[in-house]
Amino acid sequence: MSARLAVRDLTKHYGGVQALAGVSLHVDAGEVLGVVGDNGAGKSTMLKILSGAIFPSSGEVLLDDRPVRFASPAAAHQAGIATVYQDLALAGQRDVVANFFLGRERLAGNWLARRVGWLDGRAMAAHTVSELARLRTSIPDVRLASRDLSGGQRQALAIARAAAWTGKVLLLDEPTSALGVEQQEQVLDLVRRVSAEGIAVILISHQMTDVLAVCDRAVVLRLGVVAATLSGTELTSENLIGYITGAMPGRES
């Protein structure tokens, strides 16, 4: 099976600082790949390259085996890669429907409505309700302002939106970092359901419990290279921490 998204020998340097020094990894459709590492290991540089925010210095990114190079986050988005950053990028006073459809509003059918940009509010609300229900989020009312939702519900809205509009790869940056235990559990459930629909998920996190709970495999970055790729019985808290801290010597660089 060919990978949905793969990177080969990716490097990135800022002046003399080597942020990534040759990283290769891949993620399949329907798989959750964890990317872990200490501060400065190269996690956010990797995220920025994959989401189209910056270009790599060398190496290539393959989407469905085709080399891609994203000129902007919008281009990455267009190609089917969505990123949910920690700040979620929700408009707080706007309701759930407006946030869910932001940038992809559905217009009413006739030509006059299309000319003036008349929104098909009813269809948008119905679609939001059904999408959120399908992913089993706990958002009680799609007419609530997004700032009136709980932290877990906001995160769920951002993930559901990204999943609904991209379909290929979902990049999640620390999705549970600001949440309570119960809400973390909810978000992780949602991540499982999104991947079960065939979306390749890359979860960037320093919460070992998250990685152990939802990831099929985990890539440990250390000082800009892959220290280890762990899966199955090897994917344990001790191993993750060992490779992250360097207590266990890297075996893949």
Residues that bind another protein (CB under 8 A): 30-32, 73-74, 77-78, 85, 87, 89-94, 98-99, 102-105, 107, 116-119, 121, 136, 138, 140-141, 143-145, 148, 150, 152-153, 182-183, 185-186, 189, 192-193, 195-196, 214-216
Question: What are the strands of the beta sheet with 169-173, ordered from one edge?
Answer: 81-84, 169-173, 200-204, 32-37, 217-222, 225-231
Quote the least distance from Cβ 224 to another protein, whole Å: 27
For another protein, give the closer residue by CB, 105 or 131: 105
d(CA 81, CA 9): 20
For another protein, give the closer residue by CB, 201 or 226: 201
Q: If you search the block for the tokens 């989020």, which residue do you land on?
A: 137
CA dihedral for 227, 231, 234, 237, sign (positive or negative): positive
d(CA 25, CA 27): 7
Quote the least distance from Cβ 195 to another protein, whole Å: 5
- Contact present, 206 and 23 (Cβ < 8 Å): no
For another protein, give the closer residue by CB, 69 or 143: 143
d(CA 172, CA 202): 6
**Residue type at 47?**
L
For another protein, give the closer residue by CB, 204 or 227: 204
In degrees rounded to 5, what are phi and psi of residue 115?
-60, -45
For another protein, give the closer residue by CB, 79 or 248: 79
CA dihedral for 112, 114, 117, 120, sign (positive or negative): positive
For another protein, give the closer residue by CB, 56 or 152: 152
For another protein, give the closer residue by CB, 38 or 105: 105
Quote the least distance from Cβ 208 to another protein, whole Å: 17
Quote the least distance from Cβ 149 to another protein, whole Å: 8
Q: If you search the block for the tokens 């902007």, which residue do you land on?
A: 72
Quote the least distance from Cβ 28 to another protein, whole Å: 8
Helix (H) or strand (E) holding 181: helix 181-196
Quote the least distance from Cβ 31 to another protein, whole Å: 7
